[in-house]
Structure 1
Amino acid sequence: MKRLLSLFALIIAVGAASLAAPARADAPVTVFAAASLKNAMDEVGKAYAAHGAAAPRISYGASSALARQIEQGAPADVFVSADADWMTYLDQKRLIVAATRRDVLTNHLALIAPADSHLMLRIARGFPIARALGAGRLAMAGPDVPAGKYGRASLTALGVWDQVKDRLAPADNVRAALAFVARGETPLGVVYDTDAKVEPKVRIVGLFPDASHPPIVYPAALVLASHNPAAGRFLGFLQGPEASAIFRKYGFVILARPGR
């Protein structure tokens, strides 16, 4: 009987201690985000944490690679893609919460050169991109990567894809393509203009016409497998005025949401 009473007293004490302890803070939100968002999303994460939340853990990469990682069970709470197709891919596999999907941002596609290059080139139908490359190659992300898909579509629409299709320096993602040009390894590259704006070692030669490629859209959604209660709050913050101001600062265009 004494042992039973002692055990009961211990249970009561433990319960009282747990009630007196402060509530456990939410676990950090794990965000899978397109590589082109890195600079802006790093700042958005800091702004979110400044309100007392745990700083998010953000993993960057090609949207295609991130989507496949989520498909394979990677522990993500929020996915921000640089392409509607890869978000739809996960939606069709019922791996995101479809009701939370929102198109957040858009962007522009740019042709870039090293900062010390004096190349002048007007982007238009039939423009002499092969001649501008000389003996060099065109840095561009692969066809599964949104920036690579947009670039191929634009070069095809402008009638110059055949000039460059065998002269590519393929990159795993858009930031890798940016690095090729920044290091002077290629004379030209295709990236988003927001990438070029944060890299002082490159300059924008010109912007591709928006009508020459599918619309550039950055959708965001909750990952269905997430059990983190903070994920929804972070997604809401991502679409709010404070995050929007940060994205604008880095050159992104905010897409209007219903009711705004």
Structure 2
Amino acid sequence: MAALFLTLLLLSSAAQSAERTLVFAAASMKDAVEAMARAYRERTGNPVVVSVASSGALARQIEAGAPADLFIAANPDWMDYLEDRKLIDVESRTNIAGNTLVVVTGDGAIAPPVDPEPLLRSGRFAMGDPAHVPAGVYTAQALDQLGLWEDLRPMAAFGENVRVAMALAARGDVAFAIVYGSDAELSEDVAVAYIFPPETHAPIVYPAALTANAHEDARDFYAFLRAQAADGALGPYGFTKPAAGSGS
């Protein structure tokens, strides 16, 4: 009996030492974060599960009690939303990546226009829903800066996240989509037709933070992720370094 008890105790300790880390990540971060999770598991043996959706949907799930350990958003607003509700470890918050905003089409590569207006008026287009998708917020800002938002808004098909918007363009359901440069970088089904100048929208940054209830293994994975990001490991997935002065 004593030997059995000791065996069960050791098995319990081993299970606790490899507690699963649950990461909630913005949809545009899917490929990059899943790659970091695989690399971490190969190095440590500790499991990491990545769940992706729009930043707004994920933040509301955390607010509702979802057991996420780490949250990576596609803009600061939804991280602020959780911070205001004391649902993240504020001291752990940092920006781990930046991005660009681009127009993509499924019709093959075209020469990027100097004046994007004819392209943007060429037909129905897809974008993230600005009500809860950061890419949609940046898109609305960029089109408004170009004086086109009010005219083009009725032509927009709002996707539940940026990957859905890109898929619509890839299938030819819309003339084009406005997505992140990182999404276009990883897709063989679309081509970049235009890159919005950075000054047309707020800096695109990806804040990350541990949730208020994150366990120690999650903290270890987060440290690994931050170190990898600082070393440029997110670059091959189309991400840039966070814009200078974009906050902590």
| TM-score, normalization by structure 2 | 0.90
Which one of 67, 75, 88 corresponds to residue 75 of structure 1? 67
Number of residue pairs the alignment of both structures matches:
241
Task: Find the counterpart in structure 1 of residue 82 from structure 2.
Answer: 90
Identity %: 36
Task: Find the counterpart in structure 2 of residue 253 from structure 1.
Answer: 240
Question: Could you tell me how far 1:39 is from its partner in structure 2?
Answer: 1.2
Task: Find the counterpart in structure 1 of residue 141 from structure 2.
Answer: 153
Task: Find the counterpart in structure 2 of residue 232 from structure 1.
Answer: 219
Task: Find the counterpart in structure 2 of residue 6 from structure 1.
Answer: none
Is 2:142 the counterpart of 1:132?
Answer: no
Task: Find the counterpart in structure 2 of residue 220 from structure 1.
Answer: 208
Is 2:185 the counterpart of 1:206?
Answer: no
Task: Find the counterpart in structure 2 of residue 163 from structure 1.
Answer: 151
Q: Distance in 1 between matches of 2:158 and 2:94?
A: 30
Q: Distance in 1 between matches of 2:227 and 2:120?
A: 43
Task: Find the counterpart in structure 2 of residue 4 from structure 1.
Answer: none
Is 2:52 the counterpart of 1:52?
Answer: no
Seen in structure 2, the aligned counterparts of structure 1 residues 219 and 83 have a Cα distance that, compared at 3 Å, is same
Alignment of structure 1 residues 104-143 onto 2, 5 Å:
104-116=96-108, 118=110, 121-123=113-115, 127-133=117-123, 137-143=124-130
Is 2:180 the counterpart of 1:192?
Answer: yes
Letter in 1 for 2:226: Q
Secondary structure, counterpart of 1:57 in structure 2: strand
Seen in structure 2, the aligned counterparts of structure 1 residues 225 and 199 have a Cα distance that, compared at 3 Å, is same
Q: Distance in 2 between matches of 1:66 and 1:19?
A: 36
Q: What do the CA deviations read for 1:32-76 (whole angstroms, capped 9, x no partner)?
A: 000001111111111111112323100000000000000000110
Question: Could you tell me how far 1:256 is from its partner in structure 2?
Answer: 8.5
Question: Could you tell me how far 1:13 is from its partner in structure 2?
Answer: 4.5
5+ residue gaps in structure 1?
Answer: 1-9
Secondary structure, counterpart of 1:94 in structure 2: coil
Seen in structure 2, the aligned counterparts of structure 1 residues 38 and 17 have a Cα distance that, compared at 3 Å, is closer
CA contact (8 A) 1:107 1:192 kept: yes
Q: What do the CA deviations read for 1:172-220 (whole angstroms, capped 9, x no partner)?
A: 0000001001111111110001101111110001111111111111011
Task: Find the counterpart in structure 1 of residue 55 from structure 2.
Answer: 63
RMSD: 2.2
Seen in structure 2, the aligned counterparts of structure 1 residues 239 and 149 have a Cα distance that, compared at 3 Å, is same
Question: Could you tell me how far 1:123 is from its partner in structure 2?
Answer: 4.7
| TM-score, normalization by structure 1 | 0.86
Task: Find the counterpart in structure 1 of residue 165 from structure 2.
Answer: 177
